[in-house]
Amino acid sequence: MFETIAVPVWVVWVAGLLALAGLLDRILMPSVSWYLRRRLNRVIGKLNQRLSLEIPPFKLTKRRIMVDRLVHDPKIITAILEHVQEEDVPYEVAAERAERYAREIVPSFSAFAYFALGTRAARWLSEKLYHVRLGYLDEGALDSIDPAATVVFVMNHRSNMDYVLVTYLAAKRSALAYAVGEWARVWPLKQIISSMGAYFIRRKSRNQLYRRVLARYVQMATEGGVAQAVFPEGGLTRQGELLPAKLGLLSYITADFNPDTGKDVVFVPVGLNYDRVLEDRVLLATANKERAGFWQKLWGAVSFIGTHIVMRLRGKYSRFGYASVSFGHPLSLRAFMQTHTGAPEEMTRELGDRIMQEVGKSVPVLPVSLLACVVLGHRATSITREDLRLRAQTEMQTLLDHGAYTHILPENHARAIEQGIDQLLLRKMLKPGVGGLEVNPQEVGLLRYYANAIAHLHPHPE
């Protein structure tokens, strides 16, 4: 019993490491976890004091718990049973599919990633690329929103920079949850975007079980008070114009909304515009059914980045003009449903039309879009720079008189328009001619793209 036993040294080391791991797991790790959680709660408490819209507990719930809640929701259980009948598959297979969809959709929000990294990176990138301006903001209307209501920012979709720009400008109000398409489901972009609280959606999926899981998550997030940012157009506009609303996400929200007992949902229209959209030529090529190969796209991106790095090193880099955002008047879903009766599908369609009207009104007028409208409407083959500037000023005043927004003060109109003319010349949409400036025939499509951004604001659209 008391005999000496020889044990190899490596066994002693392994046993010691296992004992240490057990000690850490059972004693030290719970204490550290409690300490870190306490510090995190303090930080979030301070954030909520600063933010106009507090971060709700739903958004801070652990991802694993949210996935379990979603998969075991009664409506999802019903959807799984229906999927079993429709597809003639075992219940376990259907449940596993639903869980896979839930893990794909539910984000893993990190307040540190969003506020300490995300918003700072968004501000740095936005200000490096553009002169960022706030076109219109009704502080009184936004501050009067019921604190218990769920706020949904609805905006036009012109560029992938929209996510960055709105995150930066809305950072003082709340942490926004975006609906992001499948394009972002690549490593490491997927992990970064998920930590920012965004959820991924398959826009073209017709799988009913997937759509039921997605719909229920959107409804749970809305019930939980999560501030969301939605692009009703469903994707980037290919030719610059404002597109009609696609009713997918809106129908998910309205389908589960009870105006009598549920918390109100308030839609805040957001209009975005740019003097230069980074993807403009790619979007136009897609709209014209011109498909570039992978290597051609890669070379275009590398060439674009390389050119601007060289320009910055040579001290000749300048930002891409203005990027502007306007926040319109909030629209209460409860108030809307009280004045609109009829079938749910019809009501949702009317809601989508109303939202896009308000988003369209909020799109700010910027120099390049303004000049594109003037140049395309000018019937002569050439125009002097001074005449173009005067016509643009007149057009600007006409739009403002009809309720359009711009960040540019009246005394700065002439200077901003001159900068816009320089942008058109730099990008070869205009070229010097005998009688002044002429439209470059090869870039008429690009001019129309920018003119379309504010075409809906003109009192007499062509």
| Common-topology check for domains 104-276+317-362 and 367-457 | no
Q: Tell me, what amino acid is at 416?
A: A
Using pLDDT thresholds of 50, 70 and 90, give the confidence band for residue 367.
very high
- Confidence at residue 296, expressed as pLDDT on a 0 to 100 scale: 54
Structural contact between residues 66 and 106, judged by C-beta atoms closer than 8 angstroms: yes
Structure tokens at 110: 């990190």
Q: What is the mean pLDDT of the chain?
A: 85
Q: Which residues pair with 264 in a beta bridge?
A: none
What would the pLDDT profile of 341-361 be if each residue is shown by its tens digit? 778 889 999 999 999 999 999
Q: Does position 74 have pLDDT exceeding 70, yes or no?
A: yes
Which of 53, 269, 43 has its CA nearest to residue 172? Answer: 53
How many angstroms separate the Cα of 275 from the Cα of each of 122, 278, 282, 396? 18, 10, 16, 15
Which pLDDT value is given to residue 462? 46
User: What are the structure tokens assigned to 422, written together?
Assistant: 């320089």
Is the pLDDT assigned to residue 202 strictly greater than 80? Answer: yes
pLDDT of 154 higher than 70: yes
% residues pLDDT > 70 (the chain): 85
State the pLDDT at residue 112.
78
CA distance 364 to 131: 14
The least confident of 13-22, 54-63, 274-283 is 13-22
Residue 208 is inside which H or E element, if any?
helix 208-223
74 burial via Cβ count (<10 Å: 0-12, 13-18, 19+): exposed
pLDDT in tens, 231-248: 999 889 999 999 999 988
H-run or E-run covering 432: strand 430-432
Residue 450 pLDDT class (50, 70, 90 cuts): very high
Average pLDDT over residues 244-269: 89
| 408-443 pLDDT tens trace | 988 899 999 999 999 999 999 999 988 889 999 999
Which tens digits make up the pLDDT trace of 98-149? Answer: 999 999 999 988 887 888 788 899 999 999 999 999 888 888 888 888 888 9
Per-residue confidence band for 291, with pLDDT thresholds at 50, 70 and 90: low
- Please tell me which of 79-88, 189-198, 202-211 the model is most confident about, judged by mean pLDDT: 79-88
Contacts of 196 (CB under 8 A, 6+ apart): 107, 109, 110, 113, 114, 118, 167, 178
Q: List the structure tokens of 7.
A: 């044990």
Which phi and psi angles does 286 have, rounded to 5°? -65, -40
Q: Are the C-beta atoms of 362 and 271 separated by less than 8 Å?
A: yes
Rounded mean pLDDT, 390-408: 93
pLDDT at 461 over 50: no
318: pLDDT confidence band, cut at 50, 70 and 90?
confident
**What is the pLDDT averaged over residues 355-370?**
96
Is the pLDDT at 272 greater than 90? The verdict is yes
Q: Which residues pair with 273 in a beta bridge?
A: 324
| Weakest mean pLDDT among 26-40, 184-198, 257-271 | 26-40
Q: What is the mean pLDDT of residues 368-376?
A: 95
d(CA 140, CA 147): 14
Is the CATH number of domain 104-276+317-362 3.20.20.140? no
Q: Does the predicted model carry a pTM greater than 0.95?
A: no
Tell me what pLDDT residue 180 has. Answer: 84
CATH class (in words) of the domain with range 367-457 = mainly alpha
SS3 per-residue string spanning the chain: CCCCCCCCHHHHHHHHHHHHHHHHHHHHHHHHHHHHHHHHHHHHHHHHHHCCCCCCHHHHCCHHHHHHHHHCCHHHHHHHHHHHHHHCCCHHHHHHHHHHHHHHHCCCCCHHHHHHHHHHHHHHHHHHHCEEEEEEECHHHHHCCCCCCEEEEEECCCCCHHHHHHHHHCCCCCCCEEEECHHHCCCCHHHHHHHCCCEECCCCCCCHHHHHHHHHHHHHHHHCCCCEEECCCCCCCCCCCCCCCCCHHHHHHHHCCCCCCCCCEEEEEEEEEECCCCCHHHHHHHHCCCCCCHHHHHHHHHHHHHHHHHHHHCCCCCCCCEEEEEECCCEEHHHHHHHCCCCHHHHHHHHHHHHHHHHHHHCECCHHHHHHHHHHHCCCCEECHHHHHHHHHHHHHHHHHCCCECCCCHHHHHHHHHHHHHHHHHCCCEEECCCCEEECHHHHHHHHHHHHCCHHHCCCCC
Domain ranges of the chain: 104-276+317-362, 279-316, 367-457
Residue 71 has pLDDT above 90, yes or no: yes
Confidence tier at 391 by pLDDT (50, 70, 90): very high
Mean per-residue pLDDT, 66-73 = 95
User: Which of 31-45, 237-251, 376-390, 406-420 has the lowest average pLDDT?
Assistant: 31-45
CA–CA gap between residue 348 and residue 341 (Å, rounded): 10
Q: How far apart are CA 52 and CA 250, in angstroms?
A: 24
Average pLDDT, stretch 156-170?
A: 91
